[in-house]
Chain A
Amino acid sequence: MAETTVEKTAPRESGAARAAWRSRTGTRRSTRTLRLYTSVVLTGVTVLAVLVVPPLVQLDQQAVDLAAKLRPPSAAHPFGTDDVGRDLLLRCVYGLRVSLLVGVAAALTATVVGTAVGATAGALGGWVDRAVMRVVDAFSSVPHLLLGVFIVAMFRPGVWPVVASVALTHWLSTARIVRAEVLSLRARPYVDAAVSGGASRWRVAVRHLLPGVLPQAALAAVLMVPHAMWHESALSFLGLGLPTHMASLGNLIQSARGSLLAGQWWPTLFPGLFIIVPTLAVAGLAGVWRERINPRRRSELML
């Protein structure tokens, strides 16, 4: 009925109205694809820069040139130089490399731990569920950063203590998400059918419950990567994360604080942008993905 009406009135409509109608849908679609393409391109550039630049560009990121210290951005040094004359572009790429490595490793660890804990709690239910979730609550009542600082302080500075610290403070949200999904899946009749068909607890969890929560867990993992990067930067900025000689985005910003007060903006701005741009790119990608896997519940997983 509606279709026939549209067809009848369409030729009589003025050209402008039709154009407006078209352009409205056009822009709506194009913002979504624009967001997708921008995110893909930015993420791709970030990953490529991190993977390709260090082997291809045979320059020493630690090369000190005191004669050229604190130069503003120029053709020779596109991002300028820091207070001992090191090239900031190269330092930023190496810093991003370390930060991304920490981010991805920590996010993967946190997701695996969170999924295992959440799935166990949800699949077993009863007092196991209650006990595990109270432990999760107890963990999350301590501020993330404080707990992270505590864990890092127990080890010698390096990459892996930071990964452990970020991972051990971030599995909680994943565990909650996975547990909630598993609980909702567990009440479905197909789990009853599997029980009646002789499936063990393990088989029900692995065959029927985990595949159902995997998209959610993977989305949580992707959103965790920028979160973990920020956390690593915060720890490094506080001087507790990676050793100071290692270029990480947090270290770069921390060591450039002094020159910022003297009016040199470039040593802090560029590392800061290197944190923000990948974060936004990943958030955009995750947003598109979230709408794909679950169009109805958009507000559930946010960065």
Chain B
Amino acid sequence: MFKIISNLIIPLMVLGIVIYGIRQRVNVYDVFIEGAKESFEMVISLFPCMLAMIFGINLFLKSNALNYFLNLLKPFFSYLNIPLEIIPMAIMRPISGSSSLAILNNLFQEYGPDSFIGRVGSVIQGSTETTFYVLTLYFGSVGIKKIRHALWVGLLVDLIGILVSIIIVGLFFQ
């Protein structure tokens, strides 16, 4: 059901926009090309931001530094009754969508998608965003250097989202 709905949204959007355009007597072909041309400019301004971000994140991830920090935080999380297995994924989620998805994949392999850990991981992945990626990309594309409180509020909200996910799964599936 959900799959059908989400598979329909893009075709219907395209269909609706083109039909509306024809009815308003717009030269849809010319206008489409004109719009698509803008992508060059956008991609060129995006590339340096992406490069910087991937460079920094990759070095940090591959260096194993994350495990070191996790060990420091362990007592804190076990005090809060948060399953330790979920922590690496929760930390990666705001930084990199593909790595947190890879960790989720491992969690499914090890504990199964219908276990408590599997469900918490699913909800975290499904209900939060890659804050770092979005902020660097969006602000970078228009050349904004001072982002004020955007980052820390974004991360705080991710933390709230993660805690809420754990609580909700605990309540829903007991």
Q: Is chain B found bound to chain A in the same assembly?
A: no
- Taking beta carbons and an 8 Å cutoff, which residues of A are in contact with B? none
